[in-house]
Chain A
Amino acid sequence: MEALLNTGSTIDEGRLAKGGSKYTDDYTKECAVCWMCAEDFTSLGCPEKVAVISRDRKYSVALSTKVTEAMRSGQVFIPRSIWANVVVEPDTFSTGSPRYKGSPVFVEPTDDVILSAEELVTKMYMGGK
């Protein structure tokens, strides 16, 4: 499924980030989540987890799903965090700010493991170091 990605604050994401708890399970449960509407969730086959893939298909991140009436069809939301930023469009349109709102992404069901923030840094960004 093609979708437009929106990222942003949630109160518990803020509470955990500001409280220095980025390496806790609570943070992963709050932020490694893809919000979508029931219609899109059904069309994907009601998956427990999805892979959100960047437009150029270079990066992919596994997330759990959350069905909510806050979203419209064709739009997904990930709380602002390291997971969301894996697939955020890096082009800044000569402003310095990437497209945290409205990045085109692909969403597919997956069985991949959801990485913690620490695992994501070490495996994806530090080459397993």
Chain B
Amino acid sequence: MVYKNIICPVCGGSCDDVQVNLDKENGTIDVQNACKMGSAKFKEVVSSHRLLKPTIRENGKVKDVSWDEALEMAADILVNAKKPFFFLGSETACEAQEVGLHIAEYLGGLADSNATICHGPTVMGIQESGMVGATAGQAKNRADMIVYWGVNALESMPRHMSRYGVFPRGYWTKRGRFDRTMMTVDPRVTPTAAASDLHLQLNPNTDYELLSALFTILNGKEPHPSVEEITGIPISVMKQTVEMMKESNFVAIYVGLGVSSSYGKHRNIEIALNFVKEMNNYTKCNIGALRGHCNVAGFNQLASYLYGYPFGLDFTKGYPRYNPGETTCVDLLREKDVDAAFVMCADLMDHIPADSAQYLADIPMICLDIAPCPSTTAADVVLPGVIDAMECDGTFYRLDNVPVYFEPFTDSPFTETKSNEDTLKQLFAKVKAKKEA
């Protein structure tokens, strides 16, 4: 049967035009309109390596157990921990993340998400400076200059350029690509850079210096000559860049981890946001993060709404605290500051530095995921996951923080659970029963 307008649950693009032809009898699926990553994810519905049975590790050996036994052991681990840590990954809906946050609060643990190892510094920069933002639709209809700064959009959000950024024909950009100037700032010659009209190949870790120089030029001053050697970009090119922006009607800047994850971190974002504010004295200009992990923006929205902080939540004192560098995932694990972990819908083991990963493998870990990966290998309890937007409904937040409600085209393969939200509610009930016994 053919299903249309399915939301893709892979990156923050939340493409809503995917067409799926699912043949349940023969176990085949045909996917139209999705990118390479999206297409691969949709095939997980019928894949042979899908995790379908809960497992536990007992005396070093992994064995299949019933759903109830796995939940019991998971609840035991969490209840017996002094400082449990919840990594509520982004490849699931806000509804599941909400239950996870409530369990963390109930147990006095800590909660974090992909946001912290993705655009956490971007969010911190926004807290410092505020953000001139716009929806992706605004950029599509209005932007005649697109800047990808520290992001390889063609490979991290493959359809961004065709759906929102560069190629689509908008109301005031009727000729699509021909009505837009595209610029990339990246130390590497990426496919995105190769497709750009202008590529600023700056030296690594010099984003702050380059942004400062652009800011200086925008204010009508001459930057110090040493900035050429530091950034690798001639001042004449910097001046040309500022003029191009000022002469445009609407500039849309998309930042990636190249800005927020290199030296300078949130200060890079802070100065970029201030530059954008200043640029609005000359033309319309906005900035947004290209958020790679599915519902990573959703966790920020949800945690801010529920507890006042966007990530790195610490409930150990009975009320929410937030101190990046202390209450955030990589730091907690590196400093051996938690004694059990619940990892949901993200391969955390794969994404964190060795010091943190080694400790994560040492402590009791529960992992909820759909396919074998380093996190499931190191886990003591594995709970099979339901695939959001394919097997259950829910809400994602798109890269521009627009909520997107999604509906499934097939059912959960498990009789024991309808969704990851359902699984977490079952786990929460067991946790409460044990804690209050």
Chain A residues in contact with chain B, CB under 8 A?
A: 4, 6, 8-12, 14-23, 54, 58-59, 69-72, 75, 77, 80-82, 85-90, 92-102, 117-118, 120-122, 124-126, 129
Contacts and interface: CB of A to CB of B under 8 A. Distances in A.
7 A-B pairs with least C-beta separation? A96-B328, A20-B371, A94-B325, A19-B40, A90-B353, A101-B262, A9-B156
Given A75-B204, A95-B325, 5 more contacts: A9-B155, A21-B49, A22-B372, A85-B350, A102-B204
Contacts of B38: 18
Contacts of A9: 152, 155-156, 292
B328 A92 contact: yes
B50 interface: yes
B247 interface: no
30 contacts: A9-B155, A11-B154, A14-B37, A17-B37, A19-B41, A19-B44, A20-B371, A22-B347, A59-B354, A70-B188, A70-B189, A71-B189, A88-B353, A90-B334, A94-B324, A95-B121, A96-B120, A96-B311, A96-B329, A96-B331, A98-B261, A99-B261, A101-B150, A101-B257, A102-B263, A117-B374, A121-B349, A125-B354, A126-B361, A129-B60
B355 A90 contact: yes
B187 interface: yes
Interface stretch (B111-119, B390-398, B411-419, B421-429): B111-119
Contacts of A82: 349-350, 357, 374
A117 to B, nearest CB: 6
B352 A85 contact: yes
A84 B216 CA distance: 36
A122 to B, nearest CB: 7
B354 A95 contact: no
Max count, chain A CB within 10 A of own CB: residue among B112, B258, B261 = B261
A8 B290 CA distance: 13
B205 A102 contact: yes
B152 A8 contact: yes
Given A85-B353, A96-B329, A117-B350, A23 B37 contact: no
B18 to A, nearest CB: 13
B138 interface: no
Contact of A4 (B154, B205, B257, B312): B205
A93 B325 contact: yes
Nearest to A97: B120
Interface in B257-302: 257-258, 260-263, 265-266, 292
A6 B377 CA distance: 27
A124 B354 contact: yes
A125 B349 contact: yes
Given A4-B204, A96-B112, A72 B121 contact: no
Nearest to A122: B377
Contact of A14 (B117, B121, B155, B258): B155
B327 to A, nearest CB: 8
Contacts of A20: 40, 44, 47, 49-50, 370-373
Contacts of A88: 353
A71 B156 CA distance: 18
A99 B330 contact: no
Max count, chain B CB within 10 A of own CB: residue among A100, A101, A102 = A101
Given A6-B204, A126-B361, A121 B377 contact: yes
Contacts of B92: none
Contact of A92 (B188, B189, B331, B370): B331
B43 A11 contact: no
Interface string B95-131: 0000000000000000010001110110010000000
B190 interface: yes
A9 B329 CA distance: 21
